[in-house]
């Protein structure tokens, strides 16, 4: 019954490694997002996918790449991890572009880079 799910919930890895975080939504939504929440709790949008098309790409390093195999999934792949990548990453989805559509968030993935 989980609306938006992410795996893994915790990820501890060393600098320089490559890792992926998976996200799935079963709400039938058209748009999915990735957010990064830093230690100061600031939630910053990273990417948005609408019907498998990237429509937002904020000023994030190209080490981060979103991959959407279908409308229900938006995975985040990170190359050459750095200490500054340590944060909580949230996946979210919304129904569409109308103003009334709020976002539903996944439980978050806490990434720690050592």
- Compute φ and ψ for 96, nearest 5 degrees: 180, -160
DSSP state for residue 71 in the 8-state scheme: T
The CB-of-114 to another protein minimum distance in angstroms stands at: 21
- Length of the chain equals 114
The only residue of 61, 96, 112, 114 in contact with another protein, by rule CB under 8 A: 96
Using omega within 30 degrees of 0 as the cis cutoff, is the peptide bond preceding 107 cis? Answer: no
State which of positions 27-86 bind another protein (CB under 8 A). 31, 33, 35, 40-45, 48, 50, 55-56
The CB-of-72 to another protein minimum distance in angstroms stands at: 17
């Amino acid at each position: 019954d989980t609306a938006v799910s992410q795996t893994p919930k915790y990820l501890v890895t060393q600098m320089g490694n490559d890792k992926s975080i998976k996200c799935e939504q079963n709400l039938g939504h058209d748009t999915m997002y990735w957010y990064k929440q830093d230690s100061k709790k600031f939630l910053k949008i990273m990417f948005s996918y609408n019907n498998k098309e990237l429509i937002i790409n904020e000023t994030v390093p190209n080490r981060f790449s979103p991959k959407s195999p279908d409308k229900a999934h938006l995975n985040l792949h990170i190359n050459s991890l750095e200490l500054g990548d340590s944060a909580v990453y949230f996946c979210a989805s919304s129904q569409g572009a109308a103003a009334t559509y709020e976002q539903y968030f996944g439980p978050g993935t806490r990434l720690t880079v050592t």
